[in-house]
Amino acid sequence: MITKDYGFPCHGGYANCGKFIRCTHSNPGHAANLRLAIANSCNAYFVHLYRLAVDAPKWGGVKNGHHKWAEYMRSFGLGHRLGIDIPGEYTGTVADTAEINRRYRGQWNSCSELYVGMGQGAVVTTPLQMANAMCIIANKGYYYIPHFVESVDNDKSDILKKYKERHQVANVSDDAYEAVKLGMADVVTSGTGRIAAIDGIEVSGKTGTAENQAKVNGVLTKLKDHSVFVAFAPA
């Protein structure tokens, strides 16, 4: 779809869908390639990428394209339980085409839910899923089901079998993972995650902001944003 050198001319937001999606940066070149777009957390870059993905001609229409997108998301461990060995795991949400069809009564296009490209809207993840996503990036393409274990006395049983199986995710080149890692390293060395820097260890991380609306005395009120940070080391 794109290479790591792909750039998007963001001048402070995304205006291609008839609504303006703001970006925190407006300086020229802040999304001139994948690494920069990650380091600068460019909203325009990633909502545009979602549209390129679901509108790709090979899918024959956005409904099939979005379905493929949802499949990729699930392969990255999102939108379903990972299968950890403690109870109470949440599935998170990755809205598939059927769900979007219901929302829009079948009338929608790649602009309708483009916010998912920047991690908003029809995507909800758990902290465990985000930690697992960090493993996928650190491993360049696979994860093991996370599990809790204090000690293993006799490893000849099958109990641990499913935790030793590699879960390969969508076919992504090492080159692309490298660009993502570098972008995330920039976040910690010179971007919004500088507080996570550790002397002598290269840390790759990503900050995130979630808008926080709740009903206060029956009125939908905008509260202080929630922040999130995920990371792995060594990068």
Q: Contact positions toward Zn ion, by CB under 5 A? A: 10, 23, 25, 31, 42, 44
DSSP conformation letters of 144-190: ------S--S-TTSSTTGGGSS-EE-S---HHHHHHHHHHHHHHHHH
Instruction: Please state the closest distance from residue 23 (CB atom) to Zn ion, in A.
Output: 3
- C-alpha 221/C-alpha 217 separation (Å) is 9
**Number of other residues whose CB lies within 10 A of the CB of residue 222:** 10
How far CA 10 is from CA of 44, 47, 116, in Å, comes to: 6, 11, 18
Nearer to Zn ion, 66 or 206 (CB): 206
Nearer to Zn ion, 134 or 179 (CB): 179
Instruction: Please state the closest distance from residue 13 (CB atom) to Zn ion, in A.
Output: 7
Cis peptide before 234 (omega within 30 of 0): yes
Instruction: Please state the closest distance from residue 147 (CB atom) to Zn ion, in A.
Output: 39
Paired tokens of 215: 């009903």
Nearer to Zn ion, 93 or 209 (CB): 209
Instruction: Please state the closest distance from residue 227 (CB atom) to Zn ion, in A.
Output: 19
Nearer to Zn ion, 23 or 116 (CB): 23
